[in-house]
Amino acid sequence: MIGKLFHRTRKPHPPLGERPFDLLCLTVAVVLGVHAPHIPVLLSTALAATLGLRWWQRRRYGGRAPAYLKLPLVALLAAVVIFQYGNLFGREPGAALAVGLLVLKLLETESPRDARVGAAFACFTLMAALLFDQGMVATFVVALGLVPALGTLRALEPSNTPTRLDRELLPPLRLLAVSLPLALLAFVLVPRLNSPLWGAPNPAQSSTGLSDEMSPGEFSELLNDDRAAMRVSFDGSPPANAERYFRAYVLPNYDGVRWKRADMQAPPAPVLAGRSITYTVTLEANNQRVLPALDVPLQAPSQAQLGAAREVLADRPVTDVRTYTVRSALDYRLQPDLDPLERRLDLQLPPGYNPRTRELGLRWRTQHGHDDASIVRSALQLFHDGGFRYTLGPAPLGRNAMDDFLFSTHEGFCEHYASAFTVLMRAAGIPARVVTGYQGGYWSTLGNYLLLRQSDAHAWSEVWLAGSGWVRVDPTASVRADHVDQGSAGSAAASSDWSPNQWWLGLRNHWDIVNRWWNQGVIGFDTLRQHGLLTPFGLHDADAGTLGMLLAIGGSLFAVLGLAWALWQRPTTDPARAAMLLLERRLATVGVARRHNEGPQHYFSRAARALPAQRADLERLKRTYLELRYAHEQPPAELLKNFRRAARDFRPRRVVK
């Protein structure tokens, strides 16, 4: 008896219409497309196929997917993510798992409640894409991805009348546009945290550029990477392209395969500076500590220090866009005196590697005696006249890589030439080391800054000459002079291996001005800049309380403006009657004119008999119009909007005589 009193039957959910389900599938497809660049190709392909099959299955047969498929598919998804990433936690595996669960949610979506849950989860998963890329294009795509999600929620409203897909998406697009001022207000005034609330790492932590190690051939992928590495603004005129060498890592240690940085605890090498220049660098996040600087930096910026080889090293890895100011010497004598310990390090060659290269260096020493400058010129002449070719797709090298390069393949790019030249110098008894960084760049006259991309990464050599100290030598320039004239990216574009359209290169470089503005104005809008927001008005530190008060005032102002707009938009005529007159005129053109004494119900019924192919549309129009006229004292705004839109979209096709 008691059980009967508390027993309740579950109220069945109304069936989900085709249009809301189609919009939800479109929403999920957009989410999958946004996340596809950082999801394994096989997984994204399988999820796309599952999405398409589910849409086809519901259209063809209706109903949920078989229950025995759901649990195995969820288990398979988890297994694939664990196999790919090693666990289910973290940014990449979490995103892959969320997108997969969203796709699998469609298998059981058969009620408006399921569709609402799916649309809400799709919005969350869509915004998770900003953990990977916060650029302007990515943000714009994510914002547009909300449109089909809002369209899904709107299509689930009971009073909504189905119409063409493009018209279903127009109201959410307008809603998104109207919300932009309020979103801008929240962006500026909502108090910011010093670190992400969820503790997730910055996207750049998995995307690095230069490394503190180098082996010939490793730059090939980097030299085809068009992402911006840094932007440089100069106090005065920019230096000539041949002087745009940005030092990153100095690599003196060589084991026959790789060049590595020497972590020496020593003061910066002394430098006698001549002509100098001051500039400001905006460095993209790369998860490295090195701060590239023009050769050679004279001092380190704040929260950074100078290494023994005049490398600028930040106190912690660069996980966000960083701006720093440096002064560098363009004319200099670096370390005029070389101590014996460092000399031994910069002459070291591993035994048992590259015997022919060592023999050539020794022959030059015998030929030129103590004239180190002549030995340097002999090596550069070898690269210039020895049939060498600059290419981003060189032949693979064996154990004696420098022998293979110098005496067999004769092809490579900056890493190969810098490595071979440095080994030749050491074999000849000249202290030498490899330096990596960036060279050249694109000067934007509109933005008045120098843009260096990852494709401008470069490697060159430094040799120590008595009386001059460390001298920069770029052996790649002996093979391709345009490498120094145009920069790495420019010379690569001119090579036969990689020739992108010059028009596209120009457009890409001009587009970077917009990206720079976005980085400075949006991504770079941090807590410090927010607190200084009101400095022009005499308030030097806008705390959380002040920002909250301004946010409340601004939100209230937007609410008042929205109410005033809604009241101003109220129609002064009868919009339902105007839409009905439009229908009557269109039906009259196909022979279904309304009689003077004919009521709307009879008129719609007669039109439905005359146009059997459009009977369903006319019946729906009849029900909506009668509800507007007789079911409410004040017609609902949404119902009125649906009737007007349906009347505008209706096109009579034929009359049965």
The answer to whether residue 458 is catalytic is: yes
Q: Are 47 and 99 in contact (CB under 8 A)?
A: yes
The catalytically annotated residue of 474, 483, 531, 617 is 474
Buried b (16+ CB within 10 A) or exposed e, 90-109: ebbbbbbbbbbebbbbbbeb
DSSP one-letter code for 625: H
Q: Which of 593, 580, 449 is nearest to 515 (CA)?
A: 449
**DSSP code per residue over 531-582:** HTTTGGGT-S---HHHHHHHHHHHHHHHHHHHHHHHHHTS-SS-HHHHHHHH
Q: How many CA atoms lie within 13 A of 48 on its CB side?
A: 15
Q: Are 327 and 294 in contact (CB under 8 A)?
A: no
In Å, how far from its chain's centre is CA 325?
26
Q: Which of 95, 49, 390, 52 is nearest to 219 (CA)?
A: 390
The catalytically annotated residue of 458, 512, 531, 617 is 458
Q: Which of 576, 554, 564 is nearest to 631 (CA)?
A: 576
The torsion angles phi and psi of 58, rounded to 5 degrees, stand at -70, -40
- The C-alpha angle 510, 520, 459, rounded to 5 degrees, equals 65
The torsion angles phi and psi of 452, rounded to 5 degrees, stand at -120, 125
The answer to whether residue 410 is catalytic is: no
Residue 182 host element (H or E): helix 165-189
How many other CB atoms sit within 10 Å of the CB of residue 578? 12
Q: Are 34 and 142 in contact (CB under 8 A)?
A: yes
Q: How far apart are CA 107 and CA 96, in angstroms?
A: 18
Residues contacting residue 161 through CB under 8 Å, at least 6 positions apart: 620, 624, 642, 643, 645, 646
The catalytically annotated residue of 114, 295, 404, 414 is 414
What SS3 state is found at 16? coil
In this structure, what token pair is assigned to residue 136? 């302007």
Q: How far apart are CA 321 and CA 169, in angstroms?
A: 36
The answer to whether residue 414 is catalytic is: yes
Q: How buried is 565 (Cβ within 10 angstroms: 0-12 exposed, 13-18 middle, 19+ buried)?
A: exposed
* Separation in Å, CA 27 to CA 38, 136, 172, 531, 652: 18, 21, 13, 38, 32
Q: How buried is 552 (Cβ within 10 angstroms: 0-12 exposed, 13-18 middle, 19+ buried)?
A: exposed
Q: How many CA atoms lie within 13 A of 233 on its CB side?
A: 10
Asked, as a colleague might, if the bond just before 74 is cis with ω within 30 of 0, I would say no
Catalytic site positions: 414, 458, 474
